[in-house]
Amino acid sequence: MKKVKTNAMRLLDDHKISHELLSFDLKADSITPEYIAAQIGKEVERIFKTIVTAGTSGNHYVFCLQIIEELDLKKAAKAAGEKSISLIDQRDLLKVAGYEKGGCSPVGMKKLYKTFYDEHALSFEKIIVSAGKRGYQIEVPVEGLLRATEGETTDLLMETKSIFK
């Protein structure tokens, strides 16, 4: 693996938070959560995605949840104290967060936005988030991520609708 150093990794280094760089091949036909997990040799449940949103106030918020789950925008708005929240246009991601689509890390954004992690993160000692560059992930202690991003944990997941209820 070639030597990569991203803003996320620099910030974790500055905070003396240990992390491990992991990489996966971007040349696959389809990059699924299962593909990423197989490539980096980690459980898919420990891989978290980063979603950047905007509230009705105009403030931006960051939400991290398992890559296999879906963000409940009502729960996100409640956590942020907003009337409603919407995903930002992906074309604005670089301008707002300083990261490109597919390489957005909750750590080391242009500004320290209010950041929320789904409470399932607390089930693990370490979780995996984007390193801030496509094809690269970092495994970080949850406690360290919360500290580096001044993050909070809460329930953010969309309830699955079962036809059997």
Cβ neighbour number for residue 116 with a 10 Å cutoff: 27
What does each of the 165 residues of the chain score in pLDDT, given as a tens digit? 567 899 999 999 999 999 999 999 998 888 999 999 999 999 999 999 999 999 999 999 999 999 999 999 999 999 999 999 999 999 999 999 999 999 999 999 999 999 999 999 999 999 999 999 999 999 999 999 999 999 999 999 998 765 554
Cβ pair 21, 136 in contact under 8 A:
yes
- For 42-80, the pLDDT digits (tens) are 999 999 999 999 999 999 999 999 999 999 999 999 999
Backbone angles phi, psi at 105, to 5 degrees: -100, 145
CA nearest 52: which of 65, 37, 42, 62? 62
What domains can be seen in the chain, in order of their start residue?
Answer: 18-154 (3.90.960.10)
CA nearest 130: which of 76, 73, 53, 52? 52
What is the reported pTM? 0.93
Cβ pair 17, 144 in contact under 8 A:
yes
CA angle 32, 76, 153 (to 5 degrees): 85
Strand-strand pairing, 114-118 and 20-23:
unpaired
